Amino acid sequence: MVILTVSKRTRKRLTKFGNKNSTWDSILNELMNHAEQSDRYWECRFQ
């Protein structure tokens, strides 16, 4: 299980990974694909 903590400011930035029809799942999927470029914007904790 992965828990992502996302701030409001970051949430707005994350929307650039999707379009108006995107779900959070698809946006986070895209984010994970670009993690090396985006890891400073989010915190990941594995359980």
Q: How confident is the model at residue 47 (pLDDT cuts 50, 70, 90)?
A: very low
3-state DSSP of the chain:
CEEEECCHHHHHHHHHHCCCCCCHHHHHHHHHHCHHHHHHHCEEEEC
Q: How confident is the model at residue 25 (pLDDT cuts 50, 70, 90)?
A: confident
Dihedral pair phi/psi, residue 28, rounded to 5°: -65, -35
- Domain span at residue 7? 2-46
- How far apart, in Å, are the Cα atoms of 40 and each of 10, 30, 32, 35, 36? 10, 15, 12, 9, 9
Q: What pTM, to 2 d.p., does this model score? A: 0.35
Number of domains in the chain: 1
